[in-house]
Structure 1
Amino acid sequence: MADRRAAVTDAGDRRRWQALGVGLVAAFMTLLDVSIVNVAVPSMDRALHASPSDLQWVLSGYALTFGLILVPAGRFGDARGRRTAFVVGVALFTLTSALAGLATSPAWLVTTRLLQGAAAGVVNPQVTGLIQQLFRGAERGRAFGLLGATIGISTAVGPLLGGLLIQLGGEEHGWRWVFFVNVPVGILAVVLGWRLLPARPAGQPDRHRLDPVGVLLLGVGVLLLLLPLVQREQWQSPWKWALVPAGLAVLVGFGLWERRYARHQTPLFDLRLFRLRSYTLGALIALVYFGGFTAIFFIFTLYLQNGLGYSPLIAGLAITPFALGSALASTLGGRIVNRFGRPLVGIGLVVVVIGLGTVVLVLRGSPQHSVPLLTAVPLLVAGLGSGLVITPNQTLTLAQVPVPQAGSAAGMLQTGQRIGSAAGIAAVGAMFFSSLASTGGDWAAAFRHSLLLAVGVVVLALVAAGVDIWLGHRRGDSAG
């Protein structure tokens, strides 16, 4: 009898990790599409004769709809079952990937990218909610470590995989394989997800409504915030920035509505989560850090390809050290986060600043050759630091969140990351192009100046982490 119970336990344990593996593959696939398309833009331009506005929407439309759908999708998974939401999201992502690869016009491609981003927004909160649901204690840290490695690698390795696919598929149609590669992976994830992910227990009472007014207010608020950021190059009127305070005002209205709604029903997002110091400061760190580190890949790719004439493949390889460092440190960070708490995040941020600062130093003489080699070790160091930021911060931020709210809490956390990424790319990109104009086309100087701004943003995240550590010491909280 004891042997049978042990066998059942082992089988259940194995099934949990298999379910996590399916979730991580889907998360990798959806997060990869944020950056992989960047290197495919010239090929798309030649094949579809797209306008600059069309190309901007191909790049930014995905991030826009991704950010809009995260919290409602997380609440849906909490209320109606994460397996259903996951499988539907992956199926839609797979279908829209295939349609994007078959595009024959810019309008077709833009539409499918918008739908693809929405599908990605459905998938990702389910993965985080699944970790909260299936794992506890040190195992949860390990699971978040694997998720952090997935986030770090997918963000940094996109240009490399995009460059490889374009080289294999040819300059004319290689960009289509950037989308087609998702199809077989997505089909497999749908089948395995339905088989391995736990269903909502039969007969479980469903008292959750999806709060349509809250969905509308949050969607409008996030849309107003993101639109001027993702369309910064195409909308020349300064009036576009009036949408930012308008978006903030709508989000204030969302908060007031949620507080009122919570008196009688389960809200879209429970504002009481912000009473948790770990959640509030962790979400702030994530928002600010993503504003700094995701912008780095944007400007580095511009510098290497447009400034120095490197191929998409070499530009992707140049970013690989960061991805490797992030993957290694994320796995380690997930294992040790419960021992060190928030100070581990602070250490990671310091290492990121050191690594990126060294990149600025090695490029002081505006080198024209061997830039990927010169920056390899500093980017590896920065990647190691990043791995100690993303995974531990996510683990600590969600540690005290009740499992029934895990999806919506993760959705709000990721929404902040998407807003931070868009704001960071807008600010750092503006610095890059402004410096390029003022220095008469000195690409190295433009990269150094904009990278310094990105480092400054990371320092702000370090300040937020320092505040959390200080408060933790004052209250005697060893987890910081």
Structure 2
Amino acid sequence: MHELSSSTHTRTNSRFIHIEGSPRTYDRNKILVVLLVSLMMSLLQVSSVNTALAAMQESLHATDSQLQWVLSGYTLGIGITLVPAGRLGDIFGRSFVFAFGLAIFTVSSLALGFADSPLTLNLLRFVQGVSSGIFSPQITGLIVQYFNGRSRAKAFAYFGLVVSMSVAAGPVLSGLFIAFFGADLGWRISFAFNAPLGVVGVILALTWLPFGTELRRLRKMWRFSKRKNTSDTQNEKKAEQVCNKGEVPSDSSALAREPQNDRKGIDLDPIGMTVLGISVLAIMLPFIIHASWWKWLVILAGVALLAGWVWWEHRYKTRGKLPMVDLDLFRIRSFSYSTAISALQFLGAPAMFVVLAIFLQDGLGVSALASGLVTLPNALISAYAAMWAGKRSYDHGRGIQAFALALILFGVLGMVIVVWSVHLGASFWWFALPLLFTGFGGGAIGSANQTQAMIDVPANHGGTAGGVIQTAQRMATAIGTALVTAVFFATRGTPTTASWYFGIATAYVVIAMILIAALILAFVFWRDGYHDRHGTKSKIATARKPRSRSKVLRRKASSSRKKTTAK
């Protein structure tokens, strides 16, 4: 059975890097700028839409169900493409797939500004979600590929900073567009303003990313797929020489070192991609559209398909082929633990803001602007926490995850206290205080979790790993939001003042229980690495470091002395 290989090269933390097969010198700071700008564009399209929903409904005369698909279409589009796109990036080259996805995202954003019907709007939102799902996993994959050690932790710190700032800026930005340009033109600009940013992003991607090496790699792969019996021994030796020189290998050398790819050329695993996409769709859809009794049948079918997909991927690999997701990824303890912790966090934490907005606006009659300002300090301190944790995640990432979850849990319990304080006459602005704790915890765990999840992942599987993590987060968010809001509305009962307080308090208790489970898992992860920070080496982990020559000589000398004594 083939094992997942990893890069054995040594990468320095210098700003400029050299890549095999390219005469150019690449600037890692510029690479990071391209990636983070695209990340910002994607997240702004998520956070800004909520503020513009009412304007869209008025402009297009959309029904509530049609309006719901503005959110659901994007979520489903990105959810079903993350993992397949991550693997495509690992195979064809992440820079190539990144630029392709960003180009589609740019065109769809511009087209959304000219949507003339709810159907057109929803179809374009789905396309926008698919395109975001294409380039999003390449961001984490490229960070893993071109950054290592503390520089990777720092890159993920900036990643967390952009996430926090985009979440905070999105609603404000769309609100300003609507205020200055009117309801009809304002929501259209909130989509179309991504077009010039996207054009610049694609140009910079073609200029600053190692794009030429991947084009050459594609040509080699097509030729290689026609010569299945050609040996790649020379390529492996060349890759080893490059690694010993401390250079960053191109994806082609990583491909040459991967056992599954020898003599196989391009292997896309179309059945695996299809089954996983359908299973993710079946699991997420019932929670998004709030279907009736039949949703449980769809969910069960989705879970069954997911189990079948796991079986297929295992069987596909045992046949000597390259699966879409090598299941040996989950043998990396840092990846498995961090993915599970992140999924549990996303199962509970995002729903906290959903029920708070409903409670403030519908229950207390607070304006949308005031409701957004209550959560603004949360987003701002989250940005600071992302940088704070990023500086410490490489050495103390496991402990930071547990600490951050404890802060989020403390903040959620504080929200319950504020709920009943407001019921007794306190101002709703007091919600900003416990949200400071949840904000710091959320920003800190974002950087620490990303760093720890990818710290031991082989560079040639970074895109796939990033897609798996983001898919788990998307599915958890959809399920958790549906669960918590259902509890909120069920316990709220009739729309009386007292029942609103009881409903949101109960919802926060459910969130707290989910966070306790995440905290326990984070504590186990921290204890697991107490004596060995990076965990034991597994089949997927990097190759064992060679012993130094001095140690080898000392061992030989000791062995010789023992033989002499015995004689």
TM range (shorter): over 0.9
Q: How does 1:45-124 map to 2 (within 5 A)?
A: 45-124=57-136
1:229 to 287, 290, 294: 287
Secondary structure (helix, strand or coil) at the match of 1:401 reads: coil
Letter in 2 for 1:448: A
Query: RMSD in angstroms over aligned alpha carbons?
Result: 2.1
Pair 1:255 & 2:267 matched: no
Q: Distance in 1 between matches of 2:181 and 2:424?
A: 29
2:146 to 134, 142, 148: 134
Contact 2:26 2:209 in 1 (8 A): no
Q: Which residue of 1 aligns with 2:343?
A: 287
Q: Distance in 2 between matches of 1:371 and 1:267?
A: 56
Q: Distance in 1 between matches of 2:44 and 2:424?
A: 29
By how many angstroms is 1:111 displaced? 0.4
* Alignment deviations for residues 389-426 of structure 1 (CA, whole Å, 9 cap, x no partner): 11111111111111111101110110000001101110
Secondary structure (helix, strand or coil) at the match of 2:120 reads: helix
- C-alpha change, 1:163 and 1:300, in structure 2 (3 Å) is farther
Q: Distance in 2 between matches of 1:316 and 1:470?
A: 39
By how many angstroms is 1:18 displaced? 1.4
Q: Which residue of 2 aligns with 1:461?
A: 518
* Alignment deviations for residues 251-283 of structure 1 (CA, whole Å, 9 cap, x no partner): 111111111112322211010111111111111
Q: Distance in 2 between matches of 1:18 and 1:312?
A: 38
Q: TM-score, normalised by structure 2?
A: 0.78
Secondary structure (helix, strand or coil) at the match of 1:88 reads: helix
Letter in 2 for 1:226: M
Q: How does 1:289-438 map to 2 (within 5 A)?
A: 289-367=345-423, 373-438=429-494
Q: Which runs of 5+ in 2 are unaligned?
A: 1-13, 18-24, 222-264, 536-567
Letter in 2 for 1:472: G
Q: Distance in 2 between matches of 1:225 and 1:356?
A: 27
Pair 1:246 & 2:272 matched: no
Secondary structure (helix, strand or coil) at the match of 1:221 reads: helix
Secondary structure (helix, strand or coil) at the match of 1:425 reads: helix
Contact 1:44 1:175 in 2 (8 A): yes
Secondary structure (helix, strand or coil) at the match of 2:130 reads: helix
Secondary structure (helix, strand or coil) at the match of 2:325 reads: coil
Q: Which residue of 1 aligns with 2:273?
A: 215
Secondary structure (helix, strand or coil) at the match of 2:210 reads: coil
Contact 1:286 1:393 in 2 (8 A): yes
* Alignment deviations for residues 70-125 of structure 1 (CA, whole Å, 9 cap, x no partner): 01111111111111111111111111111112111110111001001001101110
- Number of residue equivalences: 467
Q: Distance in 1 between matches of 2:170 and 2:365?
A: 19
* Alignment deviations for residues 190-241 of structure 1 (CA, whole Å, 9 cap, x no partner): 1111111122456545434211111001001101000101111xx2x21112
Contact 1:54 1:106 in 2 (8 A): yes
Pair 1:267 & 2:279 matched: no
* Alignment deviations for residues 261-306 of structure 1 (CA, whole Å, 9 cap, x no partner): 1232221101011111111111111111011111122222222333
- C-alpha change, 1:158 and 1:357, in structure 2 (3 Å) is farther
Q: Which residue of 2 aligns with 1:4?
A: none
Contact 1:294 1:421 in 2 (8 A): yes
Between stretches 349-358 and 30-39, larger displacement belongs to: 30-39
Pair 1:277 & 2:328 matched: no
Of structures 1 and 2, the larger Rg is shown by: 2
Contact 2:422 2:428 in 1 (8 A): no
Q: Distance in 2 between matches of 1:381 and 1:316?
A: 17
Between stretches 192-201 and 86-95, larger displacement belongs to: 192-201
By how many angstroms is 1:11 displaced? 5.0
By how many angstroms is 1:172 displaced? 3.9
- C-alpha change, 1:366 and 1:24, in structure 2 (3 Å) is same
Give the number of the structure whose residues are more often helix, by fraction: 1
Q: Which residue of 1 aligns with 2:226?
A: none
* Alignment deviations for residues 327-380 of structure 1 (CA, whole Å, 9 cap, x no partner): 111111111012213111000000111122212212213359985631223212
Q: Which runs of 5+ in 1 are unaligned?
A: 1-8
- C-alpha change, 1:449 and 1:409, in structure 2 (3 Å) is same
2:206 to 177, 194, 217: 194
By how many angstroms is 1:449 displaced? 2.3
Secondary structure (helix, strand or coil) at the match of 1:400 reads: coil
Q: Distance in 2 between matches of 1:368 and 1:23?
A: 48
Letter in 2 for 1:242: L
Between stretches 452-461 and 54-63, larger displacement belongs to: 452-461
Percent of residue pairs identical? 38
Q: Distance in 2 between matches of 1:444 and 1:479?
A: 45
Secondary structure (helix, strand or coil) at the match of 2:421 reads: coil
Q: Distance in 2 between matches of 1:10 and 1:388?
A: 25
- C-alpha change, 1:125 and 1:355, in structure 2 (3 Å) is same
By how many angstroms is 1:185 displaced? 1.4
Between stretches 131-140 and 196-205, larger displacement belongs to: 196-205
Contact 2:82 2:136 in 1 (8 A): yes
Q: Distance in 1 between matches of 2:337 and 2:266?
A: 28
Letter in 1 for 2:526: I
Q: Which residue of 2 aligns with 1:5?
A: none
Secondary structure (helix, strand or coil) at the match of 2:392 reads: helix
Between stretches 440-449 and 395-404, larger displacement belongs to: 440-449
Between stretches 191-200 and 9-18, larger displacement belongs to: 9-18
By how many angstroms is 1:173 displaced? 3.5
Q: Distance in 1 between matches of 2:448 and 2:341?
A: 11
Q: TM-score, normalised by structure 1?
A: 0.92
By how many angstroms is 1:133 displaced? 0.6
Between stretches 167-176 and 237-246, larger displacement belongs to: 167-176
Contact 1:160 1:320 in 2 (8 A): no
